[in-house]
């Protein structure tokens, strides 16, 4: 019985940890609407369509997403969007990139 409780607690902890560590495109869409839609002056669809999925992935891998964000949205300043939130916005951008065939509702 004690072993079963340990296994259940471990499974629960692993599930919670894995869900908080992975970025979420839906959360990125909400964050874009809340933080960037007004300063960028464009919808999330237009923002995400600025690059292809591979280009967004390359920006993510190189760590130059914030630099590109400022280039696309000059009203956004460095540090306006925390790094922990950028991961979600990057995943949103990849999900709705110009070659994805997906169109966001924001």
Q: What one-character-per-residue DSSP string does 14-73 give? A: HHHHHHHHS--HHHHHHHIIIIIHHHHTS-HHHHHTTS-HHHHHHHHHHT-HHHHHHHH-
- Residue 6 inside a domain? The answer is no
Is the full-model pTM beyond 0.85? no
Structural domain total, the chain:
1
Domain encompassing residue 63: 23-96
- Residue 72 inside a domain? The answer is yes
One pLDDT digit (tens) per residue for the chain, 106 residues: 776 666 666 655 555 444 445 789 999 999 999 999 999 999 999 999 999 999 999 999 999 999 999 999 999 999 999 999 999 999 999 999 999 988 888 7
């Amino acid at each position: 019985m004690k072993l079963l409780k340990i296994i259940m607690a471990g499974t629960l902890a692993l599930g919670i940890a894995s869900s908080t560590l992975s970025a979420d495109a839906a959360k990125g869409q909400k964050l874009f609407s809340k933080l960037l839609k007004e300063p960028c002056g464009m919808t999330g669809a237009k923002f995400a369509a600025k690059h292809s999925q591979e280009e967004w992935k390359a920006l993510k891998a190189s760590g130059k997403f914030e630099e590109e964000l400022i280039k696309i949205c000059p009203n956004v300043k460095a540090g306006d969007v925390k790094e922990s939130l950028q991961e979600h916005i990057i995943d949103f951008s990849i999900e709705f990139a110009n070659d994805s065939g997906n169109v966001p509702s924001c």
